[in-house]
Amino acid sequence: MELAAGIDFGGTSAKIGLVDRDGRILGRAQVTMDARESFEGIVDPVVRTLQDLIARTGGGGTVSTIGICTPGFIDKSDGNLIGGANNVPSLQHRSVQQYMERVFRVPAFADNDATSAAAGELAFGAGRRFSSFVLITVGTAIGGGLVFDRKIYRGWKGFAGEIGHICVSPNGLWCNCGSRGCFEQYASGSAILRVYGEKLRKRGTECPECQSPRDVVERARGGDGLARDTLEEAGGWIAQAFGTLLNVLNLEACLVGGGVSEAGDMLLEPVRRHLADHCWSQIGEGVEVLAAELRNDAGILGAAAQAFERLPPSGKAGRGSTGKVTDQE
C-alpha cells in the first residue's frame, strides 16, 4: 500500500499524518512548535515524530512521498519558503522539502497551505466531482487555491492563489501586504471579529467574551442580529471575490474552507444570494457554492494530496528503513 506523509506547519504546532491514496489517515501525531526556535529546532522534532509514526503504524504500507504545507510563498522548483510566513520566521528562506528528502530518501514536495487545501478537496473532498473550482480559505487571514481541468494551478513561480489580496475597495483599509482595500481586510476571521466589535461599540455595548470569529458565529446562531449582519456582510465580500474570479476563469464551483466556514449556511447563503451581483448571469448560472469538506484534516490531507499529485510515476520509497511501515505485533 502506497502512503504519503502529510505535514502541516502552523504557527504553534505541526500536524503529521500517514495517508493512503483513498484519503484515509492511518496514523497521526502532533508536535508543539516554538516559532522562536531555529530551523533545525523546529524541523528535527517533526522528523523524529514522523520516524516514530512510520515505525509504529501498522498496515504493511510504504511511504513513497512526503507533502509539506506552510503559509507563505513557496518556490515550486525547490520548496524554498521565500516569505509571507512571519508566524514561522525560521522556516523562511529555507527548504523543508529538501531537508526531508535528505533524511527520508523519498521525494518530498512543499506547497502553500491554501493551495494544498485545494489539492485535498480535489482528491478527497468537495472538489472531487468538479473539473474546475476555486477554494477560498477563511481563517485569521484569507488564502486560496485554483483548480483547472482537475489540476492544481500554481502559476509561474508557484505563488498563485493569493485571493485574499484581490482589491475589493481601492480606497479602503490598508493591508499588511502594503496595498489598500484587500479582500482579506473585509472578510477574514480577523475582519469578522473586528467588524462585529465595531457594530457593538457604535451601539454603546461590548462583548468581552468574543475573542475569536467562532464566538461571533455562535452568537449569530443564538439569534444575535448584529452577529448575523456581520456574517451577511462577510458573505457579500466573499461573493464579490468569487464573482470576479468567475468572470475571469469561468469555473464550475466555489468552495469555502477554513475555520470560519464552520458557520455553514449562515455564511454560505449570503454568498449565494450576492454572487449574481458580481458576475455575468451566463457565467454564474449553475455554479455551486459549497463548504469545503476536509475541515480539521485539511492540512494533513492537503499536504499528502499535493505530494501524491506531483509524485512522478516512477517515484518510489527509499530503501532506508524510514520508508517502510510494518505490521506491529
Judged by DSSP in three states, 267 sits in: helix
Establish if 248 belongs to a structural domain. Answer: yes
Q: Give the span between the Cα atoms of 293 and 329, in whole angstroms.
A: 35
18 lies in the same domain as 45: yes
Cell 507533502, located at residue: 67
DSSP string, 197-223: HHHHHHTT---TT--SHHHHHHHHHTT
Answer whether residue 193 is part of any domain.
Answer: yes
- Whole-prediction pTM value? 0.91
> What is the number of structural domains in the chain?
2
| Model confidence band, residue 86 (pLDDT cutoffs 50, 70, 90) | confident
Residue of 34, 40, 29, 26 lying closest to 7 (CA atoms): 29
Residues 202 and 103 in one domain: no
Q: Are residues 149 and 8 in the same domain?
A: no
Q: Residue 261 in contact with residue 138, Cβ under 8 Å?
A: yes
What is the domain-level CATH number for residue 82? 3.30.420.40
Calculate what percentage of the chain has a pLDDT beyond 70.
94
Quick check: 185 pLDDT over 90?
yes
> What pLDDT, on a 0 to 100 scale, did the predictor assign at position 2?
93
Q: In this structure, are 105 and 137 located in the same domain?
A: no
In a domain, 329, yes or no: no
26-64 pLDDT tens trace: 999 999 999 889 999 999 999 999 999 999 885 668 999
Shared-domain flag, residues 310 and 198: no
Q: Are residues 54 and 170 in the same domain?
A: no
* CA–CA distance, 213 with 231 (Å, rounded to integer): 10
Alpha-carbon gap, residue 57 to 49, rounded angstroms: 12
The per-residue pLDDT of the chain, averaged, comes to 92
Judgement on whether residues 288 and 306 belong to the same structural domain of the protein: no
pLDDT tens-place string over residues 235-254: 999 999 999 999 999 999 99
Q: Residue 268: name the closest of 248, 293, 238 by CA.
A: 238
Range(s) of the domain holding residue 77: 2-117+299-323
123 falls within a domain: no
Same domain as 100, residue 137 = no
Q: pLDDT, tens digit, for every residue of 140-175?
A: 999 999 999 999 999 999 999 999 999 999 999 999
In this prediction, residues 230-236 reach a mean pLDDT of 97
Q: Does residue 47 fall inside a structural domain? A: yes
Are 102 and 161 within one domain?
Answer: no
138 and 272, same domain (yes or no): yes
> Is 263 within the bounds of a domain?
yes
Nearest to 292 by CA among 63, 128, 179: 128
Asked whether residue 328 is domain-assigned, the answer is: no
The Cα 128–Cα 150 span in angstroms is 9
Task: Tell whether 314 and 284 lie within a shared domain.
Answer: no
User: Is 105 found in the same domain as 164?
Assistant: no
- Of 236, 234, 201, 196, the C-alpha closest to 212 is 196
